[in-house]
Amino acid sequence: MTGKGKLVALVLIAAVLTAIIIGTVSHFTPPPGERSPQEYINFFKEAVALVKENYVEKIDDKKLMESAIDGMLASLDPHNAYLPPEPFADMQIQIAGSFAGVGIEITIRDGKLTVISPIEDTPAFRAGIKTGDYVWMIDNAFTHGMNINDAVKRMRGPKGTSVSLTILREGVAKPLVFKLKRDIIQIKSVKYRTLDKGYGYIRIAQFQESTGDEFATALRNLHKGNGGALRGLVLDLRNNPGGLVDPAIDVAGRFIDGRLKDGLIVSLKGRDPTSRKEIFTSIGEKEPHYPLAVLINGGSASASEIVAGALQDHQRAVIMGTQSFGKGSVQSLIPMRNGAGLKLTTARYYTPKGRSIQARGITPDIIVGTAEMGKPAKTDDFDFREEDLDGHMLPAANTETKREKLRPHPNLPENTESTKDFQLSRALDLLKGIDLLGKRK
């Protein structure tokens, strides 16, 4: 073939390819304007057909559909997820408070797998993994682009087996490698002790099915161990990532009188009428009206924010610590066919006075940062919250403005307990001060 003939052939081939591409793009152009749901479904089917027909490799139908569902849910807010049968079953087990793994709550922040909070008394907690850590690698797999389901699956495993987490931490130049041995994460929801004669302490690590009963037992034992009456109580909700709503209602309801018309604890407001409700305290057993201090921080989220917000709005407790996380949305577990399910955001939480928790959190009445003897207090012990997550849901209209930079409590610790837990020491000092004032009156 002559040079001229080759040129003509190349031009013809280019024209044919251009026609194919233009035809394909034209055929694939999204429908303009608002269309009916069925038209969008047909449009989706067309996209799937084009991908299956033209992608460079053959694609498994199951992978294609599950990826499409993942993408759809990820475009809504960070707390939605498609759960195949095994992860869906694991989620239900985790709610009950027992699973095998390393013990961290994770989310996606700026496209990175980020630790919300290590769960107390777990391998991750004991190893020193912290809130805000970026999980760079799980074993030899980089986490960039990895969804939460895949990450959880890699970290879970039989008791006694090992997993390596490579962590990037702000302020630390080199990656940190944690070699963790998986264990049964049997989360003990409630711990308690007497701080000083007459002053009790209850820590709730997470709200589970048994939390309400455990909390009632802790109160009974504290009363019994202090001569039948408490002079004050510290309720510690720091690093509590939330959990089930009903136990949180039980905990808050122990301090709020259900016989009053304003015994509201939380409102749920969603688009579907079935997701709109007001939850009031019951008329069951109540605690005497002794002083109550509630500790929160940036790791306090969801159900723990419901408790703090309710007690603050009812003026039943003094909230102390630092700004909470701001996860004010409700996720429902919805079963699907073949054992799979959806974790779907269905409503927002509101405090009794109508404050939206979403992307705002609870502001303490008294700001108390973390500190050690001889060191300045830090008011922002967590460098990210709900409002920093990719695609976070906005607060409802007419809610309070963006959180302020908070100023620390100026005092430094004065006793041995303070050097271990500055915030707890300040809470105990407050309760003793209120008790002293009451006696003087």
- How many residues are recorded in the chain? 441
Q: How many CB atoms lie within 10 A of CB 64?
A: 13
Q: CB under 8 Å to 360, separation ≥6 — which residues?
A: 326, 328, 387, 395, 399, 400, 402, 403
What does the block give as tokens for 5? 């003939």
DSSP code at position 128: T
327 is catalytic: yes
End-to-end CA distance of the chain: 111
162-168 and 232-236 strand pairing: unpaired
Task: Report CA 40 to chain centroid distance, whole Å.
Answer: 33
Provide the greatest CA pair distance for the chain: 111
Exactly one of 117, 189, 300, 302 is catalytic; name it. Answer: 302
- 439 CB-contact burial (10 Å; exposed 0-12 / middle 13-18 / buried 19+): exposed
- Catalytic one among 236, 250, 313, 381? 313
Provide φ and ψ at 391, rounded to 5°. 65, 25
Do strands 104-109 and 134-138 pair parallel, antiparallel, or not at all (unpaired)?
A: unpaired
Contacts of 179 (CB under 8 A, 6+ apart): 162, 163, 164
Catalytic residue among 117, 267, 324, 327: 327
302 included as an active-site residue: yes
Eight-class DSSP state of 25 = H
CB 192 within 8 A of CB 203: yes
**Annotated catalytic residue 324:** no
- Going edge to edge, which strands form the sheet with 318-321? 190-196, 199-204, 232-236, 292-296, 318-321, 366-367
Question: What's the CA gap between 212 and 302, in Å, rounded?
Answer: 16
Q: How many CB atoms lie within 10 A of CB 157?
A: 14
Alpha-carbon Rg for the chain in angstroms: 27
Q: Which amino acid is at 36?
A: S
CB 143 within 8 A of CB 164: no
Would you please indicate which residues are annotated as catalytic (active-site) residues?
Answer: 302, 313, 327
